[in-house]
Structure 1
Amino acid sequence: MDANFDFTDDVALVTGASGALGSAVCAAFDDAGATVCATDVVEPSDEDALLDGDRVAFYRGDFTDESEVESVVSEVVADHGGIDCLANVAGTWKGGSPVDETDEGTFDLLFDVNLKTMFLASKHAVPHLRDREGAIVSVSARSSLEGGEGDGPYRASKAGVRLLTETIAEENKGVVRANAVMPSVIDTPANREMMPDADHDSWVAPADIAEVVLFLCSDAASVTSGAAVPVYGEA
């Protein structure tokens, strides 16, 4: 069964747009007719993230820096009149060390990129989303549901995304919906290179996760807010 979404006349702001998942979310919104405002700290590369849709505009910004977040959001609103959807995709992974062997810089990096970007983007977008009764979808992780060896700060930062999502939903009942998606390992060239012996067939493609992001931003999910939706296949 095919699912088709119509975001004509909607403005979607997507963070982490230069990555594999972010670019897939941008492409999905573009295919659905939205005006896509893609933002990232690095320019998209031709190989990894082609932001070549008809209605995709790139705004460079470091979303760990509040002044840059405020500037990008203000520029998007000035250019396009408002924001209907915010997709908080910016994120990173680092692991491999027990907590007592994890350096402070790794901890700060994970919380800055995974949680602080989501907090700042939501903080500055929410007033504009209220004007249009819009929606936020943020990327948490399956591993945020429990502790595990070697990547505790990552899990904790992604658990923070889930809890902040629930808070935003509670604070904006009936006005702005906020939900999260929880992927496991995403099927990207980088992950395949990092884990060549893994069962790649069990991984979920970025485009499939992007479809769930669109669903949660659409009227089809009008009764859903504060949810954390699994997007890791049948595992």
Structure 2
Amino acid sequence: MASSLVSRSLRPSLLRAARKTTTLPSATTPSSFFSTDSNDNNNNNNKRIALVIGSSGALGSAVSHYLSQQVGMHVLGADVIETPEMPLDGFISLATQSPSAASVTMELASGIHDMLEETEELDTIVVAAGGWAGDTRPMTGQQSLAEEIQMDATLYGSNIDTMIQMNLIPVIAAGYAAQRFMGPNGLFVTIGATAALSSTPGMMGYGLTKAAAHHIVQTVGATTGKSSLETKTKQKAGRHYRQYAANLDTLSAVAILPTTIDTPSNRHGMPQADFDSWTKPVDIAEQIGTWVTTPQLRPHSGALVKVTTMAGNSVFDLVR
């Protein structure tokens, strides 16, 4: 079964209060946390700052590495477990026993607030966290035991809960962060799914959460001053909202919609698939990097961009 991302980046059983794991300067040093060497502060403070949610997964690692090494950004990671081999400029641990939109949004926002100096703002937010699960198979035949029916119903609902926690809640939290902590000309990118552009038989939870992620991007985009597809009524509502968040005037919100990302987890789950038709994480990272460095190449805010890969070559096309 194809999926846009199989990365257990926000496993619901492991989410707990956000904590800061980066090494900070001493309390007597007024420098930015990005460097403990005062000689480097001027250069470091000029660097743009990116936040990658799901930074320990296959896609998140690729995006973090590319933005750091190729684009030259400071990169903050947010995930369940920090990957030691992935050098980050800061890390927010997302782990709570009972994840909800409220708790994860609070954890992420608190972590960002603790990381940034008063004069610092985020330039880019990328939501690379997510996962896939197919629907559970309903029990067949006459059910004589109430316990069996309850078990089946609970399993069905739990599967959808898991998809909400993995695919939707991180985007909700990131959407808040984009409005609260983003600087001028910010870029907010989340990973959607080509499958969620239409019905998704056999994967209800996956489809509805990815479609909802698309909706968040479109709504955030319609709220900004860079959307070009909305009615006058929606444009008026967006202008009213931007009175309270001036950074939204220039924010670009975009969803990238792959079919299947070429990750170790996906290869393990589908060993007979045509890997040349899968999108490599670095291709997505490079596209995001292009939008960071060349804002005029970004699509309109609220755009859905489908990525299609054939013979190892990926093409990004606007679908809305």
Q: Which range, TM-score by smaller chain? A: 0.7 to 0.9
Secondary structure of the structure 2 residue equivalent to 1:165: helix
Q: CA offsets, 1:116-149, max 9 Å, x none?
A: 11111221331221x3231100110111111132
Q: Partner of 2:188 in structure 1?
A: 136
TM superposition shift of 1:59: 2.2
- Residue 226 of structure 1 and its aligned partner are, at CA, apart by 1.2
Aligned counterpart, 2:92: 59
Aligned length: 221
Retained in 2: the 8 A contact 1:181–1:213? Answer: no
Larger CA Rg, structure 1 vs 2: 2
Matches of 1:213 and 1:99, distance apart in 2 = 40
How much does 1:61 deviate?
1.9
Calculate percent identity across the aligned residue pairs: 30
**Are the counterparts in 2 of residues 14 and 37 from structure 1 also a CA contact under 8 Å?**
yes
* Aligned 8 A contact 1:15 1:39 in 2: yes
Structure 2 CA distance for partners of 1:187 and 1:223, relative to 1, 3 Å: closer
User: For residues 184 and 115 of structure 2, what CA distance do their matches in structure 1 show?
Assistant: 15
Aligned Cα RMSD in Å? Answer: 2.3
How far 1:205 sits from its partner (Å)?
0.9
Structure 1, unpaired ranges of 5+ = 1-7
Given that 2:197 and 2:211 are in contact with CA atoms closer than 8 Å, whether structure 1 keeps it comes out as: yes
Identify which of 94, 106, 113 aligns with 1:74: 113
Provide closer, same or farther for how the CA distance between residues 57 and 198 of structure 1 changes in structure 2, counting only shifts above 3 A.
Answer: same
- Give the whole-Å Cα distance in 1 for the aligned partners of 2:178 and 2:167: 17
Question: 1:24 and 2:76 equivalent?
Answer: no
Alignment of 1:39-188 (within 5 A): 39-44=78-83, 50-52=85-87, 56-62=89-95, 64=100, 65-78=104-117, 81-97=120-136, 103-129=156-182, 131-173=183-225, 174-188=249-263
> For the structure 1 residues 99 and 69, does the alpha-carbon distance in structure 2 shift closer, same or farther, using more than 3 Å as the test?
farther
The alpha-carbon distance between structure 1 residues 79 and 29, as it changes in their structure 2 partners (threshold 3 A), is farther
Q: Answer yes or no: is the 8 Å Cα contact 1:137–1:216 preserved in 2.
A: no
Match status 1:198 vs 2:236: no
C-alpha change, 1:80 and 1:22, in structure 2 (3 Å) is farther
CA distance in 1: counterparts of 2:198 and 2:137, whole angstroms: 15
Question: How far does the alpha carbon of each residue in 1:201-232 deviate from its partner, in whole angstroms, 9 at most, with x for none?
Answer: 21111111111222333414345321111123
Deviation at 1:96, TM superposition (A): 4.4
TM-score by length of 2: 0.64
- Corresponding residue SS for 2:265: helix
Q: Which amino acid aligns with 1:12?
A: A
- Summarize the Cα distance change of 1:99–1:15 in structure 2 as closer, same or farther, 3 Å threshold: farther
Residue 66 (structure 1) shift: 2.7
Query: Structure 2: how far apart are the matches of 1:80 and 1:39?
Result: 21
Per the alignment, do residues 77 and 122 of structure 1 end up closer, same or farther by CA in structure 2, a change over 3 Å counting?
A: farther
- 1:232–1:75: structure 2 CA closer, same or farther, 3 Å change rule? farther
C-alpha distance in 2 between matches for 1:165 and 1:93: 20
Change (3 A) 1:96 1:223: closer
* Cα 1:179/1:223, change in 2 over 3 Å: closer
Q: For the structure 1 residues 85 and 165, does the alpha-carbon distance in structure 2 shift closer, same or farther, using more than 3 Å as the test?
A: same
Task: Write the distance in 2 (CA, Å) between the matches of 1:155 and 1:183.
Answer: 13
Q: Is the 8 A contact 1:114 1:161 kept in 2?
A: yes
Q: Deviations over 1:166-217 (max 9, x none)?
A: 1001112232110000111111111111111111121111111111222333
Task: Give the TM-score of the pair, scaled to structure 1.
Answer: 0.85
Q: CA deviation at 1:233?
A: 1.2
Cα distance in 1 for residues equivalent to 2:56 and 2:260 = 18
